Amino acid sequence: MLSDNIFLKILEKKIPARILYEDEHCIAFHDNNPQAPVHVLIIPRKVIPTHADIQAEDRELLGHLHWVAAQLAEKLGIGDGYRLVLNCKERAGQTVPHLHLHLLGGRNFAWPPG
């Protein structure tokens, strides 16, 4: 059930998270299984299960998530290079059905990604 997903529980403060930033549109918190020295998740308050569910009315919100990512990258000292990842659906590795942007930094990244 969508309302059961772990990120909604974090949004509703029902379970703890290391929150770095929050505003009326989104929150950002440290991933609890980091894949890089800096690994932050930025999630909208609005329930959007996957990237494929984005509507025209969400365009500004998506831009906002990216702006927050750039601000946090600078604040966290990874402004010299970072990677943003957005996994869409199970085949791409999405495990939580609430759209989220991964902000990764503090190491070099390979291309192509795995």
- Which residues are known to be catalytic? 100
Exactly one of 32, 63, 75, 107 binds ligand AMP (CB under 6 A); which one? Answer: 32
Q: Mapping DSSP to helix (H, G, I), strand (E, B) and coil, where does residue 84 land?
A: strand
Exactly one of 3, 33, 55, 108 binds ligand AMP (CB under 6 A); which one? Answer: 33
Between CA 70 and CA 72 the distance in angstroms is 5
Q: Mapping DSSP to helix (H, G, I), strand (E, B) and coil, where does residue 38 land?
A: strand
* In the complex, least distance from residue 93 CB atom to ligand AMP, rounded to whole angstroms: 5
Count of beta carbons in the 10 Å neighbourhood of residue 55: 9
Contacting positions for ligand AMP (CB under 6 A) = 6, 17, 31-33, 41, 87, 93-96
